[in-house]
Structure 1
Amino acid sequence: MTSPADDRSLPLRDRKRLRTRRTLAETALRLFTAHGFDAVTLDRLVDEVEVSKSTFFRAFPAKEAVAVEAETELWRAYLDQLRGRDLSGNVLDALHTRLTGAVEALDPGWDERYRATRRLVLTAPALLAYVDHHRTGVEDEAAAHLADRLGLDADDLRPRVLARITTTCWSVAARAWVRDDGRGGRAALLNALADAHRSVPASLALTAGR
């Protein structure tokens, strides 16, 4: 799995831009983990990387965004997978397949960055709110894509429900994987995701007696 910043098929200018983005994200995660998200100013971050604030804001819209780049990488890859292939068969299964493909395509260092990001998010309410807002945007994009591909009205609730179920399955699987400090590697994460996906039909069939 090659990082986009090292992809020789890209123009040199794009590779440099992606490397700067990656350096900012990795430095931010290191500083925020060591000192706390609120304690590290944007000025300190750009000084550490030796870039200007304008360069930072060309790469990221906010300080929160650079802190959760590993999260953003995942959902960007998921949406790319979703847009890049035709839908067929059961739609919830298709969404699971796209999310699995996105995880498999991430570079080898992503696992550690994601776990560190999730631990960091738990220490800063601003980051938790930012991640929640970002995932809602991902769900909206996925639902809109599904509605378009399936010829449904934009206000049809079914694509929205399916998009939310997919991200919820991810949350259940990833939370346990991070709690276990990534034991079993990415294969364990994908197995947990598959288990969460398989549990959906059985969960919906649960009934409670009097």
Structure 2
Amino acid sequence: MTTAPSLRERKKQRTRQALIDTALALFGERGFGGVTLDEVCAEVEVSKRTFFRYFTGKEAVAMAPLEDLWRTFLDELETCPADGRPLLGLLESVLLAALDRVADEEWAGRALRSYRLLQVTPSMDAHGLHFCEDTLRSVLDVLHRRLDLPDDARPRLAGDMLVAAWRHALGGWASAAVEPPSATGLAARVRDAVAALPGSLTLPAAPRAETGGR
């Protein structure tokens, strides 16, 4: 039985969400570099000390919707059934379960704004790469603790392939997104991207046929 969050916890969640929504709105209006942390805090009427209880900086609050998905992924990975299926298939099912938990339409709108900021903000890109590497290490820690896996490159490569499929799916979804963006559409793109992975490994590198005469 799931325990309902306390009043204190709900207040903390509301403050955190207000910081995310305010930051994304301001960054969208004036650009990431055109907004100070003081301005974000002033809009939400919290101190910088309070801000740093939730986030390490502007990059972290701007990336929060996408990072929250991967934190949920790690949570799901702790409890998913270890039923002997191929590891990549298990990781895909965990990612889709995480999406199902977090990705309502409000999350989809935040994630879209976050991704579009990421595409034009080098410091967010660097922050995202660091977060991705830390997350993959955590994924491997959980996998090796829960599963009987070989101590070789294959588990890490399975994780890398899932991340590559996710990035491809997210980019295509963001390019095609209409308002309001669809969380179910993102999940469908994830499925398609993961399904394409085996074929990418055996795709022939045939030379292009010459056309026309000399």
Normalising by structure 1, we get a TM-score of 0.90
Give secondary structure in 2 for the equivalent of 1:68: helix
Match of 1:137 in 2: 134
1:41 aligned onto 2:36? yes
How much does 1:209 deviate? 4.6
Which whole-Å CA distance do the structure 2 matches of 1:209 and 1:72 have between them? 39
1:165 aligned onto 2:161? yes
Which whole-Å CA distance do the structure 2 matches of 1:34 and 1:11 have between them? 35
Q: Which of the pair has the greater relative contact order for Cα pairs under 8 Å at 6+ separation? A: 2
- The one of 107, 113, 118 aligned to 1:116: 113
Gapped runs of 5+ residues in structure 2?
Answer: 208-214
1:32 aligned onto 2:55? no
Q: Which amino acid aligns with 1:147?
A: H
Change (3 A) 1:108 1:209: closer
How much does 1:8 deviate? 8.0
Which whole-Å CA distance do the structure 2 matches of 1:152 and 1:177 have between them? 33
Match of 1:149 in 2: 146
Match of 1:203 in 2: 200
How much does 1:11 deviate? 1.1
How much does 1:152 deviate? 4.0
Normalising by structure 2, we get a TM-score of 0.88
Gapped runs of 5+ residues in structure 1?
Answer: 1-6
Change (3 A) 1:46 1:205: same
How much does 1:206 deviate? 2.1
Match of 1:4 in 2: none
Change (3 A) 1:42 1:151: same
% identity of equivalent residues: 36
Change (3 A) 1:61 1:125: same
Contact kept? 1:182, 1:189, Cα under 8 Å: no
Give secondary structure in 2 for the equivalent of 1:79: helix
- Report the count of equivalent residues: 203
> Could you list the per-position Cα deviations for residues 52-74 of structure 1 after superposition, in whole angstroms to 9, with x for gaps in the alignment?
11100001112210111111111
Which whole-Å CA distance do the structure 2 matches of 1:24 and 1:161 have between them? 35
> Could you list the per-position Cα deviations for residues 140-188 of structure 1 after superposition, in whole angstroms to 9, with x for gaps in the alignment?
11122112222346x6321111111111111111100100125872222
Which whole-Å CA distance do the structure 2 matches of 1:209 and 1:57 have between them? 53
Which whole-Å CA distance do the structure 2 matches of 1:156 and 1:92 have between them? 15
